[in-house]
Amino acid sequence: MVLIEEQEESEMQAPGEAFHEANEDEGLEDLEPFQGSPVEMDDLEFSSESPTSPGARFQLDEAPEADAPEVTHGEELRQALWHLAHAQRSLSCVSSDISIENLERLYAVRRALQDDLEISTSWTVDDRLQALLKLHSQALEDRRRAEEKCETLQPEVLMLKRSINEILRRMPSKAPSLHPQGDQDAEAQSRSSRLQAVEQAMKQRAVHAEKAKERLLTEDQLLSANLNVAKHVLREAVQEGQRLEDMRDEAATEVFRACRALAQLSHLELLGKQQPKRYQKAKELESFLAKSAAAPWRLTALHQPPQTGSAGTTSATVALLDPEAYRLNRESATAQADKDLEAAMELHSVTRDELKREYQEEVHRQKEAEHTFAAELQSLKERLQQRRNGVDSAMASHLAEKERRLQEAQRQLTLELRQIETEERSNQEALRQEVIRAKKRLEQASATAKQQLDLHLARVKADCRELLRGTAIQWEKAVLQERKALKEAQARREKWQKRVDASRNAFRGHCAKTGVYARSMDASRRAILDCLVPRAKVGDLSDPNG
């Protein structure tokens, strides 16, 4: 009994832990959302909107007092746990309507809620206080890391905003209103209606973008066609100019040929005028030869062509020997030469006149062609200049229209960006206020849960002490019964021991009388002896003698 009382304090925690392990799962599995009165249900003030709405706000009143007479301790604990779980769900619903910069902070708050929920279900106050201090330090560290991460991600967020603005800048949209709505009803629109409005706006923007794209493509196609026509006209003008230059080169070539023919004709005429001088030189040569003592055949050889054969040699010899024949032959040759010269001169004069006339006609025709080509080239240049002026004016108007549209889109995007920044700031401020209120409510709920858990822990300790006392009394009774049974077994053992001693003495006397005392007892004799005199068993409660 003294040993059990000394071990009472050391064994007190084990039944409590076993009781907690046995009842913890049952209490959590049978946990109901809320079992309080309707008045307590009305104390939970929420907004009229659903938790998924963009402007949803949730408010939790203080938990009911621990000393409320109409609510039991188990129901109070269930209400505190339900408040914590509902706050976590509400914050998870709010997380879908906040900006990217505050997601890390919201996740930290959610983790803090989960940790508070786990701490509220613990059974040791010191452990919960240590965990709360640890979570507080972790929250401060997470906040510092989140701020550093926000500062680190700020350039990337700005870059993403610029890219989004660049994408939205190309999409025409209506100018947003510069005056934000002041009433709270606009912020409390349901999420479904907001999504539908956003989808309709996106569809309208897509339609406007398609129309603007088609219009720009049409204008680009028209400008491309005009540019292609202008390029074609310019190419034709250049080809026409090249053709005119080729024709001018051909005309210059023809003029050069005509000039060369005229020069040849003049040269032939000059040769015709110089022909008599050659005959006069021949006559002077003949008179010089006549004065000299030359043979008559040498003079004849100057005008007589050479002949072949014996007959020709004979006639040439006769002509050389006859002076009269030589004179007649010379006169006939001179007359024939004069006739040939006159015919050649007439032919050259006719040819020269024809060449002069053809040259003049060709020069006149070339001049007329040059005038015609110059007029056509001037007209082509004027047409090309007109086309170029038209294309320049069209390009200038197109650039002006494009610049105007770009300025209008930039202005609209600037207004939209301002509105988005205003909404973002308002959402951030609302989120901060909501987080502060949630933290306050969680602190209050944690304090209330702590008090309730302390009371519950005290009650559980008292119940465990009573249970241990009852268990100790039962074990004490069992020990007394075991001691009584042990004493009875010892008495039976002494009785059997006396019978064994008597049997041993009788056996020794029998062995002494028969002379087999010195023999060793083998296994078979030991078994026979055991059958005859059974051994006494310690703790045997049955009595063979009845």
With contact defined as beta carbons under 8 Å apart, do 86 and 79 qualify? no
Mean pLDDT for the stretch of residues 373-384: 81
Mean pLDDT for the stretch of residues 499-504: 87
344, pLDDT greater than 70: yes
Q: Across-strand partners of 46?
A: 58
- 95-104 own/partner pairs: CB under 8 Å, 24+ apart: 96/52, 97/54, 97/55, 97/56, 97/191, 97/427, 98/427, 98/428, 98/431, 99/424, 99/427, 99/428, 100/157, 101/150, 101/153, 101/157, 101/428, 102/428, 102/431, 104/142, 104/146, 104/149, 104/150
Residue type, 31: L
177, pLDDT greater than 50: no
With contact defined as beta carbons under 8 Å apart, do 188 and 53 qualify? yes
Where is pLDDT greater, at 237 or 67? 237
DSSP secondary structure, 94-106, as one string: HGGGS-GGGHHHH
15, pLDDT greater than 50: no
Return d(Cα 236, Cα 252) in angstroms, integer: 24
Return d(Cα 474, Cα 274) in angstroms, integer: 175
Mean pLDDT for the stretch of residues 174-190: 51
Where is pLDDT greater, at 540 or 506? 506
Class of residue 89 by CB neighbours under 10 A (exposed 0-12, middle 13-18, buried 19+): middle
CB atoms within 10 A of CB 492: 20
Among 107-116, 423-432, 483-492, where is mean pLDDT lowest? 107-116
Instruction: Please report how the helices 323-514 and 13-29 are oriented relative to each other, as an axis angle in degrees rounded to 10.
Output: 130
356, pLDDT greater than 60: yes
Share above pLDDT 90 across residues of the chain, in percent, rounded to a whole number: 1
Q: Are β-strands 44-46 and 58-60 bridged in parallel, bridged antiparallel, or unpaired?
A: antiparallel
CATH T-level fold of 213-410: Helix Hairpins (1.10.287)
Tokens 């005199």 belong to which residue?
533
Where is pLDDT greater, at 10 or 248? 248
CB atoms within 10 A of CB 398: 15
Residue 198's pLDDT is 66
Q: Which of the four pLDDT bands, split at 50, 70 and 90, describes residue 417?
A: confident
Conformation bin of residue 62: beta by default, left when phi > 0, alpha when psi is -120 to 50 = beta
Mean pLDDT for the stretch of residues 372-378: 80
- Could you tell me the sign of the dihedral formed by the alpha carbons of 287, 288, 294, 295, in that order? negative
Mean pLDDT for the stretch of residues 514-521: 56
With contact defined as beta carbons under 8 Å apart, do 36 and 71 qualify? yes
DSSP secondary structure, 442-458, as one string: HHHHHHHHHHHHHHHHH
Nearest CA to 348 out of 269, 448, 263 is that of 269
Residue ranges covered by each domain of the chain: 2-172+424-478, 213-410
Q: Which of the four pLDDT bands, split at 50, 70 and 90, describes residue 88?
A: low
With contact defined as beta carbons under 8 Å apart, do 46 and 89 qualify? no
The total number of residues shown for the chain amounts to 546
